[in-house]
Amino acid sequence: MKEFRYLEDVATLVLDTARCIGCSLCTEVCPHQVLEMHENKAAIVDFNACMECGACVNNCPSGALAVNPGVG
């Protein structure tokens, strides 16, 4: 979602690909399509579209995602 922007490079979203199990739940719940699946792992494809809602973190069963809501 390239049109949605607030501030560039301030989101706190972090993805630990080593912990990602490839379930794709994060891509399904993200309202701004920040994440996509690449080779059976999640990948951040639009970092600056992250609004730090925490939907991806709350739905990740392996704890591969982290965000500090309200910072960015």
| Tens digit of each residue's pLDDT (9 = 90 or more) over 10-68 | 889 999 999 999 999 999 999 999 999 999 999 999 999 998 999 999 999 999 999 99
| Beta-carbon-side half-sphere exposure of residue 8 (alpha carbons within 13 Å) | 2
Strand pairing partners for 44?
A: 35
pLDDT of residue 1: 47
* Domain definitions of the chain by residue range: 14-66
CATH topology for 14-66 is Alpha-Beta Plaits (3.30.70)
The confidence score (pLDDT) of residue 62 equals 98
User: 0.75 cut: is pTM over it?
Assistant: yes
Give the integer Cα–Cα distance in Å for 53 and 70.
9
